[in-house]
Every structure is written in C-alpha cells, then in structure tokens.
Amino acid sequence: MKALDQTLALAWRSLVQVRRNPWELGDYSIQPILFLVLFLFVFGGAIAGSPENYLAFVLPGVIVMNMLFVTVYVGHGLNTDLTRGVFDRFRALPIPRWAPLAGRILADVVKQLLCIALLLVVGFLLGFRLETSWAHLLAMVALVLTFAVAFSWVMVLVGVIARDPEHVQLFGFTALFPVTFVSSAFVPVDTMPPWLQGFVQANPVSLLADAARALMNADGPALEPALWSLAWALGIVLVFAPLSVYALNRRLARG
Amino acid sequence: MDNAIEVEGLVRDFGGTRAVDGVDLRVPAGHVLGLLGPNGAGKTTVVRMLATLLTPTAGVARVGGFDVARDGARVREIIGLTGQYASVDEKLTGRENLILIGRLLGLKRRDARARADELLQDFDLREAGQRPAQTYSGGMRRRLDLAASLVGRPRILFLDEPSTGLDPRARRDLWERVRQLQTDGTTVLLTTQYLEEADALADAIVVLDHGRVIAEGTAAQLKARVGGRSLFLMVARAEQAAAAGERVAAMVGTPPRVEGETISVPVSDPALLPALLRELDAAGIEVAELGLRGASLDDVFLSLTGRSGACREESGNAEDTP
C-alpha cells in the first residue's frame, strides 16, 4: 500500500515534469499529429490512391510508431535522474529500490494513453471510422500499451548506459527509425523487395501494426499477429530487464 | 546508544583502486563531525557508504545503530542526505520537490504540503517555491537541497561539501543553518575542503587523505599538534619573498607556504622570532610585518600532508560539472 503510494507520487512527478519541457510536450502532441497528417497527405495518394483510402491503413501504423518514440523518454528521464543526482536522493529515501523505475513506467503508460487518444480523435476528425467494436479498440490499446511497457526495458538499458540525456535521444531515435520504417506500419509488405520481406514480417513493429489494423479495421486476422507481438514483448522483457538491472547496479557501484 | 555513527575499518575499492582504506569514525549523537580532506581523499565515498548508496568492500559501518550493509532500509528511515550527488529535480518547482519527498516519506498529501510550506518559509524560499528549481541561483539551490534532506526531520544528516561553489554570504547563511540543526540535536557529518568551514562548524574533525585518516581531534587539538602557533612574515618587496622563505625554512625546519609577499609556517618555539629578524636584517631583506598567530587549519593540513589544504579555484567550479 505504501509502496503503491510512493510509486504514484513518483509517477505524478514524471508527469508534472512534462509541463516544463516544451520539447517533450511537443513530442507527445504536435509530433504524432504532424506524422499522421504528413503521411496521409504526402504519401496517401501514392500508396493508396487517395488520402481517404490511406487513413485506415496508416492510423494504426502511426499509433505504433509514436508509441515507440515515446518510450525514448523513459530512458531520457532515467538518465537525467542518474546524471543529475536525483536518483541518489531517491535511493537514500526509505522507498523500495524499484519504485523510481515503476513510477516512471507508470507515467509513461499515462503519456502513451493520452497520445493514442489524441491520434484517434485527430483520425476521427480526418474521417476515420471504426470498423470493429469498442471492445476491439480497447484490445488494440491494451496490446500497444503492453508492448510499450515491455519495450521500455530497452530504453531503460539505453538510459543506464548512455553518458548523458542527449545521447539517449540520439541513440534511441537512430535505432528506432529503421526499425519503424522497415516494417508494415506505413506500406503493405508485398510492395517491398522479396529479400526485405522476411525481415519486415518478423519485425515486431509490423506484427503490432498488423494486429492494431485488424482490431480497428477488421481487414485481416488479429489474433495471430497479436500473439506474436506479445511473444516479442515477453522476449524483450526476458532479455532486457535483467540486462538493465545488471547495468544499473554496475553504474551505481562505480560510485 | 551514545554514538550516532560508528565506522570501523571501512574499505571501498573501485576496480583496482582503493578509494577508502580502513577508515574509523565515531560521531556521538548530536555532534557535528567535519570530514576534511582535498579532492579525491575519499570523503564522498565514505558518505555514500554511510547513506547506503554504496556497499563497503570491507569493514563495518553503523548509522543510528543499524548496519548499513544489512539494515539499509532502517538506515534510510533516519538519515538525510545533501550533496554533490543527491540533488533535486530541476524541472519541478521548489515546493513540488519538497512535496514529492514528503509523499515518498509516507506523509499524507495535506501534511506533505504543510511540511513543504513550512520548510520554504524557514529557508527563505517562499516566493521561489513556485518556480522551477532550474531557475534558482547556486545559493537558493543549496538551500532547497538542504530543505529537501530535512523533510523527514532526520536524526542524522550527511552534508557532502555543502558550501562548494557558494559565495561567502550564502556560505555564512548555510553555516547558520547547520548550527541551528546542531542546536536542535541533529547529528551531522559534513565533508569539506574548506578548513575554515570545519573549524567553524565541527565539534570534531577527521582529516582524510588518500582514503586514510591522517589526523583527528577538535580544531584546537589539531592546531596544538602543529605547535599551536604559526609564524607570519610579510616582506616589503615581493621579489625577496623566496629568499626570505629559504631563511625561514632553514631556521624552522619546515618549508613555509609562500604567497606573494607573505610567508607562513607552523612553529613550536616562539623564541626564534628575534633570531629570524636579525637573520633577515643581515641578509638585507626588508620586513614589513613579522609576528605569531594561532595556527589555522590550513597550517595543520600543510604540516600533515606537506600540501596546502583547499584548492579553491578548482572547487569553485566543481558545481558546474555534475
């Protein structure tokens, strides 16, 4: 009960921080809208014949891409705390050692939820209509959030290893761009060269985008890509959580 | 329980380097201990071990009767930590920072707010409390840091180089606050490179160098160790200072500290003063001032380590490099 209270206080703190960080705020609001509108009106005609036809395809893709970009702030925030000494202040307090991280990830879930809601509203204003049910939509949101929490562990590792917050962002986005774009998030896989298709189909971003699309548009099987996405999520946690904890302990032991 | 802090044979290695090499400390409850030493002496490493941020490689440390290695959680309930490494969140306002700490310490929302406002008032931060900490001056930052470590009314407080980078006025203000804490019965362990700071605040001083305790006692005892007196000589012309220094060294037996026209060195025998004056006169060195004064801790440090104590130019910038 006390630990929960402490985690909530730390999550509150991560959310209050956003108020004073216009760049971060922009990344949660302007950037996703910008991506959606750009993709829609610049590529829509070329990819799907018209922006209207592209909207249902690209909206789930942008939701997935934005989710990945938002996780970079988990690493960014953690690294800021480590380099600025805030982490040590927390460690000298009578709170569970996992609480600062849990608070950060909880705050991240709230941010993710707001981003998804924002994109759905903007999508609706642009003409998107749900072809499935609210239950399917909720399943999509739950799936994306679950993957976000799992993927946060990758960014935790980056946050622990990086020298300063700027490097977290540099590394985070540099790694995320190819992973996001070499996927089915924005274009159908069958338009790509065969040698690339194998990679794209195994890419968790593709699987997640396919599942989200099926859950919003009823245009294909949802269960299979959803289960594969969850398998990826589990695999990521199994590899990156212990690595992150190991790296964190090493960093803290350096003095 | 008489000792708030008890440390025996504390050792900490980093890779192949021994940063702390068998330190013993004893701080009676309600006392202020000054841990004095130059950069890299191991002061911060000792504090980090006592605050449970770092595990000792060897040795035992008890804080408030609890073993830091085995009862870390209990230790964290009774300590406060302020220093180079324990900082506030720059994106939060001063008030939000204090409320957050209060909440983490288990205060109800309302109590956390009340405690935050009380501390902001005490630390002259009432107006600044509404602004993000990143807009604070160095002195305000340090006051907020200190306030943050006092939210839980800790019995034992660690201050790691609390006045590094502060201007003289802010430093004096901080000293006043530490004295107040001492009056209230808080045990304080404070590390510093400033000899005058240890002299001004500490009941007892432990001098650390290369991870070892090289001297301990009250400021008066330490000063007595170097003869209690210090010779102070000022030559009329700066170019004669070096020559005068050599004469002083020959006579006292210790190389003096020469800064500009002034030469100072700890002495045990005041009777050598007239002899020195004759010697300088014979050598044609013009003396502007010659006398004895009580040895400063700087002199103590000089005689203990063969080096001058604080490196003020360096430490003044330390704040900017986290």
Alpha-carbon dihedral A214, A219, A222, A225, rounded to 10 degrees = -90
Across the interface, do B103 and A6 touch by the CB < 8 Å criterion? yes
Taking an 8 Å cut-off on Cβ atoms, the answer to whether A94 and B105 are in contact is yes
Are the CB atoms for A91 and A6 separated by under 8 Å? Answer: no
Residue of chain B nearest A80, judged by CA positions = B89
DSSP character string of B37-95: --TTSSHHHHHHHHTTSS--SEEEEEETTEETTT-HHHHHHHEEEEESSS---TTSBHH
The yes or no reply on domain B3-223 and CATH 3.40.50.300 is yes
CA B184 to CA B178: how far, in whole Å? Answer: 10
Alpha helices in A132-193 (DSSP H): 134-161, 165-181
Burial class (CB in 10 A: 0-12, 13-18, 19+), A45: middle
Q: Does the pTM of the predicted model rise above 0.90?
A: no
> What pLDDT sits at residue B308?
59
Nearest to A94 among B45, B76, B84 (CB): B76
A87 to chain B: nearest residue by CA? B86
CATH architecture group of domain B229-294: 2-Layer Sandwich (3.30)
Confidence band for A255, pLDDT divided at 50, 70 and 90: low
pLDDT for A54: 95
Q: What pLDDT does residue B116 have? A: 97
The percentage of residues in chain A with a pLDDT greater than 90, rounded to a whole number, is 87
B204 to each of A40, B33, B92, B219, B258, how far by Cα in Å?
Answer: 72, 5, 37, 7, 29
Residue numbers in B near A6 (CB within 8 A): 103-104, 106
Q: How many Cβ atoms sit within 10 Å of the Cβ of residue A175?
A: 15
- pLDDT tens digits along B5-44: 999 999 999 988 999 999 999 999 999 999 998 888 999 9
Residue B15: the pLDDT is: 86
**Which has the closest alpha carbon to A204: A230, A166, A170, A237?**
A230
Which tokens is B143 given?
A: 């006051």
Return d(Cα B260, Cα A241) in angstroms, integer.
59
Q: How confident is the model at residue B228 (pLDDT cuts 50, 70, 90)?
A: low
The pLDDT tens digits of the residues spanning B173-195 come to: 889 999 999 999 999 999 998 88
Contact (CB<8Å) A86/B73: no
Torsional sign, CA B134, B35, B185, B224: negative
Give the domain range for residue A181: 2-253
Q: What DSSP state is assigned to residue A253?
A: H
Question: Which of B52, B91, B106 is facing A92, going by the closest CB pair?
Answer: B52
Mark yes or no for CB contact B81/A92 under 8 Å.
yes
- Any CB–CB contact under 8 A between B73 and chain A? yes
- pLDDT at position B305 is 72
* Whether the Cβ atoms of residue B104 and residue B112 lie closer than 8 Å to each other: no
Q: Could you read off the pLDDT of A154-166 as tens digits, one per residue? A: 999 999 999 999 9
At residue B312, the pLDDT reads: 37
Q: pLDDT-derived band of residue B309, with 50, 70 and 90 as boundaries?
A: low
Q: Give mean pLDDT, residues B86-106.
A: 93
Confidence of residue B321 (pLDDT cuts 50, 70, 90): very low
Q: For A44-65, how does the pLDDT look when each residue is reduced to its tens digit (9 = 90+)?
A: 999 999 998 999 999 999 999 9
Residue of chain A with shortest Cα separation from B17:
A254
Does B81 contact chain A (CB < 8 Å)? yes
Which of A5, A6, A15, A93 best tests the B interface by mutation, with the highest count of B CBs <10 A? Answer: A93
ipTM of the complex: 0.89
Cross-strand partners of B291: B232
Q: Predicted confidence band at B155 (pLDDT cuts at 50, 70, 90)?
A: very high
Number of domains observed in the structure of chain A: 1
Contact residues on chain B for A95, CB-CB shorter than 8 A: 104
Give the gap in angstroms from C-alpha A86 to the nearest C-alpha of chain B.
5
> Within an 8 Å CB–CB cutoff, is residue B79 touching chain A?
yes
| Residue B320 reports pLDDT greater than 60 | no
- How far CA B246 is from CA of A201, B284, B303, in Å, comes to 82, 14, 17
